[in-house]
Amino acid sequence: MNKSKSKRLRILVSNDDGIDSAGIFALVREMKKLGDVTVVAPHKQQSAVGHAITMNYPLRVSKFNKNGKFFGYAVEGTPADCVKLAVRSLLPLPPDLVVSGINHGSNTAINIIYSGTVSAATEGTVLGIPSIAVSLTSYKSQDFLFAAKFARKLSTLVLKKGLPKATLLNVNVPAVPEHQIKGIKITRQGKTNWNDTFDTRLDPYKNTYYWLTGELEILDHSEDTDQIAVMKKYVSVTPIHYDLTDYTLLETLSSWGVEKVR
């Protein structure tokens, strides 16, 4: 007997662009073809919040309608807050899958560590639920259909195969018409730097303020990296985890005499 016939899949969708964004709307429409979708997402844009969680303030939740119908729960918190609150409190049963996105803009290379989209999926993984983060590599494009379809199909595969306990998939989809997509690549996290600069400005009261700006510098041009794969119009699928241990240095450190520091 097929298990999926006996129960409906439960899917939790979140994001970091806020519950009112076009990307999450497209994702939800596709994911509904797989099962019951609950949306729990930030009430407003939360980009670059990293894996922030709210401990010193309470979280508030409100019901959010879209086109006159209930769409999901809007949380005054971060993407990680949304997933934690959904799984631990709002949902009657834990979901079978967490999908975060579709982000407006890529989450590749160094940007993964700043990404709210990835942090929502990471939180799903932390909670023991197979999780996927999905981003479209454009801040401007509103055409999320191909990315949403890919998210749905990859979800089916993930639900069939399972994911290792502390690993999630980070997906980046090139913002090009579907017929220009060259294929799908399994990638590693690319090596890049931000050449950050801060605009130093004066406010109307002559007080200085600083505004972050900068350009991404690619340090590794291999096609098996997320960054280059999407530039070459491939969908990029990167398995990432949150065991941050650098096992290579672990072995070296002892020879330094770290244990003998007095």
- Determine, following the binding rule CB under 8 A, whether residue 218 of this chain makes contact with a copy of itself: no
Of the two residues 4 and 166, which places its CB atom closer to a copy of itself in the complex?
166
CA distance 181 to 154: 16
**List of long-range contacts for 159-163, beta carbons under 8 Å, 24+ apart:** 159/9, 159/96, 159/97, 159/130, 162/130, 163/125, 163/130, 163/131
Residue with tokens 């970091």: 16
- Residue of the chain from 14, 15, 21, 119 that contacts a copy of itself (CB under 8 A): 119
- Site mask for a copy of itself (CB under 8 A), range 164-193, x = bound: x-xx---------------xxxx-xx-x-x
Helix (H) or strand (E) run with residue 116 in it: helix 116-126
Cβ-defined contacts of 191-200 (< 8 Å, 24+) = 191/109, 191/110, 191/218, 191/219, 191/220, 191/225, 192/108, 192/109, 192/110, 192/111, 192/216, 192/217, 192/218, 192/219, 192/220, 192/227, 193/110, 193/217, 193/219, 194/110
Element (H, E) at 13: strand 9-14
- Nearest CB to a copy of itself, comparing residues 67 and 255: 255
Interface with a copy of itself: number of residues (CB under 8 A) = 81
Within 223-242, the residues that bind a copy of itself by CB under 8 A are: 237-242
From 180, 204, 211, 215, residue interacting with a copy of itself (rule: CB under 8 A): 211
Which of 210, 221, 222, 232 touches a copy of itself by CB under 8 A?
Answer: 210
Q: Is 7 or 88 the residue whose CB approaches a copy of itself more closely?
A: 88
Q: Which of residues 33-72 bind a copy of itself (CB under 8 A)?
A: 45, 47-56, 58-61
Tokens 């949150």 -> residue: 242
CB of 67 to a copy of itself, least distance (A): 26
The interaxial angle of helices 22-31 and 145-161, nearest 10 deg, is 50
Distance CA 208, CA 94 (A): 48
- Name the residue type at position 58: P
Compute the CA torsion angle 64, 67, 70, 71 (nearest 10 deg).
Answer: -70
**Which of the residues 133 through 152 are near a copy of itself (CB under 8 A)?**
150
Beta-strand pair 192-202/183-186: unpaired
Smallest distance from a copy of itself to CB 56, Å: 7
Stretch that binds a copy of itself, among 7-15, 35-43, 97-105, 154-162 (CB under 8 A): 154-162
Specify the residue, 180 or 208, whose C-beta has the smaller distance to a copy of itself. Answer: 208
* Near a copy of itself in 75-114, by CB under 8 A: 80-81, 84-85, 88-89, 110, 112-114
We find the least distance from the C-beta atom of residue 175 to a copy of itself, in angstroms, to be 19
In the complex, what is the shortest distance from the CB of residue 38 to a copy of itself, in angstroms, rounded to a whole number?
A: 16
Task: Output 93 or 211, the one with its CB closest to a copy of itself.
Answer: 211
Using the minimum distance from each CB to a copy of itself, give the nearer residue, 4 or 197. 197
